[in-house]
Amino acid sequence: MTSASGLFYKKSGREGDVMMPEILQDKVYKGTTTVGVVCKDGVVLATEKRATMGHFIASRKAKKIYRISDRIAMTTAGSVGDAQFLVRLIRVEMNLYEVQKEKKPNVRAVATIVSNLLNSTRYFPYLVQLLVGGVDEEGGSIYSIDPIGGAIQESDIVATGSGSPMAYGLLEDSYSPDMSVDEAVELAVRAVYSATKRDSASGDGMDVVKITQEGYFEISKDVVDEIISGLRK
């Protein structure tokens, strides 16, 4: 089935359903590696910086981790335009939440708001897969959210994007629920680095953040490079 724009649509099993363009079906999770680690004293989120258009490297400085609240962040995989628009929209929703509730949202509330936003456009969804992670009064937590709003709380490790199979191999082998947040930083860096060695759509450095009850901290390039240099020996 085609639209007036010429996009091919996948036939639905239910009459009256609006369908997603078939040309986009295989492009939702492409071209990135993001990692989340839940540890005993916080969470760590890490991404690489490469943005691709098919086989073309469009940018080597793409931002894929966004601070949403004081101790909550979101990683993005998928369409850059969709991700950037969602970040702006979610930040507005967070401001409204604080005004209406007279308190800052916890991680579950942010994940629920993001999930509802994505689900409201499920027939032509934002082409993204997101991780929402942070620390609140209940401790550290990370939620994985798919393009149509399905949200799953991850209790330990999670990876998204085209490099996630390689990242999972290292995460599952080395993760321990008793590890410190600094040990989790090293694990996340190692996982993303391993993905960049095999996934052509991932690479060009990393952004890494750790979030604890003390605050939100961006890991410096020097620290990341030191961890990577140890892997090369």
Q: Would you say residue 104 lies in a domain?
A: yes
pLDDT digits (tens, 9 = 90+) for 122-155: 878 898 999 999 999 999 999 999 999 999 999 9
Counted domains in the chain = 1
Decide if 76 is catalytic. no
Question: Is the per-residue pLDDT at 38 higher than 90?
Answer: yes
Residue 20 pLDDT > 90: no
**What integer pLDDT is reported at residue 230 of this predicted model?**
85
Q: Which domain holds residue 128?
A: 29-232
| 51 membership: H or E segment, kind and range | strand 51-53
Instruction: Tell me how far apart the alpha carbons of residues 163 and 121 are, in angstroms, rounded to a whole number.
Output: 27
Q: Which of 32, 33, 34, 76 is catalytic?
A: 32
Which pTM value belongs to this model?
Answer: 0.85
**CATH code of 51's domain:** 3.60.20.10
Mean pLDDT for the stretch of residues 213-227: 96
Measured CA to CA in angstroms, residue 149 lies from 65, 114, 165 at distances of 19, 7, 22
CA distance 28 to 171: 23
Average pLDDT over the chain reads 86
pLDDT bin (cut points 50, 70, 90) of residue 233 is low
The pLDDT-based confidence of 28 (bands split at 50, 70, 90) is very low
User: 92 pLDDT exceeds 80?
Assistant: yes
The answer to whether position 176 is within a domain reads yes
Residue 221 lies in a domain: yes
Would you list the DSSP string of 179-217? Answer: --HHHHHHHHHHHHHHHHHH-TT--S-EEEEEEETTEEE
Encode pLDDT of 39-88 as tens digits: 999 999 999 999 988 888 888 999 999 999 889 999 999 888 899 999 99
* Residue 102: inside a domain: yes
Which residues have CB under 8 Å from 222's CB, separation 6+?
Answer: none
**Who's near 123: CB < 8 A, 6+ residues apart?**
17, 18, 19, 20
User: Is 61 a member of any domain?
Assistant: yes
Alpha helices by DSSP H, listed for the chain, are: 80-101, 107-119, 164-174, 181-198, 221-232
Any domain includes 14: no
Confidence of residue 18 (pLDDT cuts 50, 70, 90): very low
Residue 110 contacts residue 69 (beta carbons within 8 Å): yes
Quick check: is 6 in a domain? Answer: no
Residue 198 lies in a domain: yes
pLDDT-based confidence at residue 15 (cuts at 50, 70, 90): very low
Q: How far apart are CA 159 and CA 45, in angstroms?
A: 10
